[in-house]
Structure 1
């Protein structure tokens, strides 16, 4: 069993593995990008538990519920802000449940525990003299809830005439002058540079370099406003001892990661295993500045460690275009055809470093080709009554396997399955989920070729060839078993369905259980095991009509 340096350290200190998503802004219903962030974090924590079942995992997510945009969205929905926030927050919970996002903590910024944490954190920054009051003026984006440096704005001509927008987000900005509390971000340039010198502290390398360049550029490191007039942003947490000011929503939101750790209650933090600093914080590239500059600077100011790693991912486009409400191409996960295959597509297609493209055609074709045909059909054939009427995971006699190894497809398959766990372990630790799937699908293609070459349907007709048939079934089912264990972080529901069918005990589904295929044990005669009875369809094919509109999902 492999132990990373981080994991070994975690075991020695008996601290949990802590992974986070951002908390999601409730100004609108969740979309494809939000789900992607969540399933990436979920795959990370599932792989951690797979490789180290005894390690306690804390996996936090939640909803960000303060700010001007929330006020506006609630008014548009004819709801009070608390009602509106509860409605959208529940949508996130329901979405994550449907897509098997197995979080341990769901935090809302309107909770009392979070209010307490934010106010305490503010006082820590103030007591360290990193917060001061001053008059502030600049270009402010309501959509981004942030001031934007003038050099990062440009003029655009719209139907309303000339307007100024943020170059980064494209959102409109307005000149604002007000009295605010400021944070001494400029004091942390050297500290941030030193933090970013740590190899692997930001993944992938592409975004690590971008953050390093941002820290070198003083435009990104002026002192920043960390409050807003309460008269303008009343749906927010008030500044301690100053009811006329509301705490900046990003400062409020970022503290959620400490809230989950039990902060500021020392006894609660201790009881949770002192999880901070987080081991992996998963964020989209659009909020990299907030998590890669502001957040570590806030933490350093409060004399706390920055996160051990930021995993920054790119975005999803739709049919080659950026998702946009105005264009009307925002993808809501629960409304797509074959939603049960969407998690697979998200982790199978995206490379983290680069934008990925979603289309319904791609979703349907990928689901049919890989889940229904490559995996599902192989499972059905090897456990079906036509070839396996006894319903068995048959014993393997190595002497007979040697005879089968005279055929090239057998040799290729056995080698591929032998090296598969090591290959996939490397890809998982690099967050290259698509490469994990590539390797598994390659092994399953080889298993299908092996199956076709050995022609078990012909062996079934000859009583004297029953032992040879058992070899074919054993090798195929063993390949399926190993691939299903490896795929658990990607498609936990489908993997569970296969492993349950093969009656693999829960305690035998860890990473160590896939590292040594059964045929590696010389001279062993393995016990024949019964598989679960009853009709079994792993993944129904998805059928579309001639106009490419979904009409039904039929059983294969």
Structure 2
């Protein structure tokens, strides 16, 4: 078993402190992207940005990797292209471009956008197949069973049910199945079951949240059947050819999973410097593929499985499952036109929790963005930088004697206590992927800062002789804003950048190590003219969220 193979590195718990490699799943191009896809991407983006923030590039032996991309092979893609009357390669390119544009608009700072049609990926898949063959884990067999085309998988009787029309469907997805008999290559999944179990149990946070770890362990309580890893090319021609058999295509899920290896340079020797991934982000619907099949494939190929899987739940819309038939599929770009890209990022990371489905609501997003980004964060910055209190447009110098007087106030004490505790508290929340708790902590600090501001009534000091008191109040409040800006960078990078720019914080001084409380001793000028981070949103008249089908250009075939 794996645990006895001394030539393979021992499993290690936690992240690799010397290297950061974060992945999203690659997204299937059978339809345009929605908020579920965006959610996976911004979770991974926030993790990647936090890793960069806490471990500057100079400290890495290798630059951090953050990969995402599109999964473009299989029967569903062939059918989708036919439905849109375009060549399959054209269809894949158009949908893949929609994902690129989505991620660019929402600031998803990936280092590689991979497509399974990329030449280096095709080569990697074929090399990985050969590694599986060398391990003795692959054999050819006649296979018969219930096959679900939309899910691209064979299902056992226990995974099936009859719907109201008497049609056999998948219990999990509800998609119809058809009886299929064909010759496939099979993978000896059962042969590696104990090793996968060891991989999961060896580290308590291998799969988080823990409810998903338990689901994987439950899968492993019964003997795992061998699984089909190829399809006849006569049925699935759009795919990677099996290197040893030109009549077969590599099963789309094996093909897709290898993308994580491709981005590291596999099969070239340099890929070992980057492998394995630090954390792989995925939705709960693909847990079995990543939590059972993927580590089994890797172990068979004598490669180390990922350090950690972060599994997240799905999004409902007004407490209903997203569905085209209900016309409630949320188009992120459409909603960003109302709430901004940064506002959508903030809402999804602020409201989403990995262990339970999140609920999208236009009413809720307006309330949260107005209350927290406009009224709490944005308003505090505007008051500090506005001409009424700060006509010189500066981060004023700090007066130690006045500070000692202010410290006697309860509002000041509470503010300073929260300010001192904030970096460590938020560091822990980021490490545990609790982005909503990061935001909670920052908002709590900002509420305390607004309370401090109200309690010290700086507007009454403008015409008085007590300029040091006014300047020190502004100084303390701006230090709170500086810390909030640094900490929120992984969540709202553009808005945080605008805040830190306004406060004239040098770009090289925006790392986690710069979070030590630092009341400005010398005065510095503010940058820019406006100090408006987020404008209040007026509720739109039309509340329905309608999913628009992607427009496809019809390609004229040349004779």
TM norm. shorter chain > 0.5: yes
TM-score by length of 2: 0.92
Paired residue secondary structure (1:374): helix
CA RMSD of aligned residues (A): 1.6
Paired residue secondary structure (2:167): strand
Separation in 2 of the partners of 1:135 and 1:290?
A: 23
Q: Say which of 169, 192, 198 aligns to 1:194.
A: 198
Paired residue secondary structure (1:92): helix
Q: Say which of 245, 251, 276 aligns to 1:242.
A: 245
Paired residue secondary structure (1:172): coil
Contact residue 68 and residue 233 of structure 1 kept, 8 A: yes
Indicate how the Cα distance of structure 1 residues 252 and 375 shifts in structure 2: closer, same or farther if over 3 A, else same.
Answer: same
What per-residue deviation string (whole Å, max 9, x for no partner) do you get for residues 373-420 of structure 1?
A: 100011001011110001111111222111112221111111111101
Contact residue 316 and residue 359 of structure 2 kept, 8 A: yes
What per-residue deviation string (whole Å, max 9, x for no partner) do you get for residues 192-246 of structure 1?
A: 111111221111111111111111133xx20000011111111111111322111
Aligned to 2:364: 362
Post-superposition shift, 1:365?
1.2
Aligned to 2:430: 428
Which protein has greater RCO, CA pairs closer than 8 Å, 6+ apart?
Answer: 2
Aligned to 1:526: 521
Contact residue 395 and residue 526 of structure 1 kept, 8 A: yes
Contact residue 362 and residue 543 of structure 2 kept, 8 A: no
Separation in 2 of the partners of 1:461 and 1:389?
A: 12
Paired residue secondary structure (2:239): coil
Separation in 2 of the partners of 1:363 and 1:184?
A: 48
Contact residue 211 and residue 355 of structure 2 kept, 8 A: yes
Question: Structure 1 residue 541 and structure 2 residue 544: aligned?
Answer: no
Contact residue 333 and residue 339 of structure 1 kept, 8 A: no
Indicate how the Cα distance of structure 1 residues 432 and 244 shifts in structure 2: closer, same or farther if over 3 A, else same.
Answer: same
Aligned to 1:553: none
Question: Structure 1 residue 203 and structure 2 residue 208: aligned?
Answer: yes
Alignment of 1:399-548 (within 5 A): 399-462=401-464, 464-514=465-515, 516-519=516-519, 526-544=521-539
Aligned to 2:227: 224
What per-residue deviation string (whole Å, max 9, x for no partner) do you get for residues 243-290 of structure 1?
A: 211110000000000000100122x426xxx11110100000000000
Paired residue secondary structure (2:305): coil
Post-superposition shift, 1:546?
6.9
Aligned to 2:551: none
Post-superposition shift, 1:459?
0.7
Separation in 1 of the partners of 2:246 and 2:136?
A: 20
Separation in 2 of the partners of 1:306 and 1:121?
A: 14
Aligned to 1:282: 281
Post-superposition shift, 1:547?
7.2
Separation in 1 of the partners of 2:135 and 2:261?
A: 18
Separation in 2 of the partners of 1:233 and 1:328?
A: 31
Paired residue secondary structure (2:417): helix
Segments of 5+ residues of structure 1 without an aligned counterpart are: 520-524, 551-556
Q: Say which of 117, 123, 128 aligns to 1:121.
A: 128
Q: Say which of 77, 92, 110 aligns to 1:103.
A: 110
Aligned to 1:322: 321
Post-superposition shift, 1:352?
0.8
Segments of 5+ residues of structure 2 without an aligned counterpart are: 1-11, 546-559
Greater shift, 534-543 or 384-393, is seen at 534-543
Aligned to 1:339: 340
TM-score by length of 1: 0.92
Alignment of 1:12-411 (within 5 A): 16-54=19-57, 55=60, 56-158=63-165, 162-197=166-201, 198-218=203-223, 221-266=224-269, 268-269=270-271, 274-336=273-335, 337-340=338-341, 341-411=343-413
Paired residue secondary structure (2:483): helix
What per-residue deviation string (whole Å, max 9, x for no partner) do you get for residues 489-545 of structure 1?
A: 01001100000111100111000111x2125xxxxx711111113123111111126
What per-residue deviation string (whole Å, max 9, x for no partner) do you get for residues 330-356 of structure 1?
A: 111001121321000000001111110
Paired residue secondary structure (1:236): coil
